[in-house]
Amino acid sequence: MPTSRETILAALHARLSALPATVLRGEVLPERVPAAGLLILRDGEPGEPEVTLSPLNYHYQHRAEIEAVVQGTGREAAFDTLTASIGTALAADRTLGGLCDWVEAEAPRPVDLAVEGAASLKAAVIPVVLHYSTADPLA
């Protein structure tokens, strides 16, 4: 049976997979970026939980990361559209079907990356904070 953490990350991946961009989880950046853009979900860090004792519960603010990448001409508009679509997808269900207490993305910090012999990339890491509780940090 998957852990709460894995169930939540899988639900986040499924939510992002509904977007027109190619969505990967934990993969390396491929040689080619699809025309609609590329999203790579990184599991991130659950951080130090707050603990309540009666009943015992661990309250996490897990910071996952989404790497958003676009390439080619018009990448400014494509990047803007891609990041806005992530925000819309998350806002549509802030609890990921009741798995989380709250899901919230932080603002991206975009960078332009030159690629030798190809069109440059526009990319950013978008932190996503997943608020959830579990009775066991390993379950």
- pLDDT tens across 16-63, in order? 999 999 999 999 989 889 999 999 999 999 999 999 998 999 999 999
- What are the Cα distances from residue 45, in Å, to 34, 84, 88, 132? 28, 24, 24, 13
Q: Which two tokens stand for residue 64?
A: 């996952």
Residue 139 resides in a domain? no
Number of domains in the chain: 1
> What CATH number does the domain containing 29 carry?
3.30.2000.10
Residue 88, H or E segment: helix 75-91
Tokens of 79: 């990047």
- Domain range enclosing 25: 4-134
Binned at pLDDT 50, 70 and 90, residue 66 comes out as very high
In a domain, 49, yes or no: yes
- Tell me what percent of the residues of the chain surpass a pLDDT of 90: 85
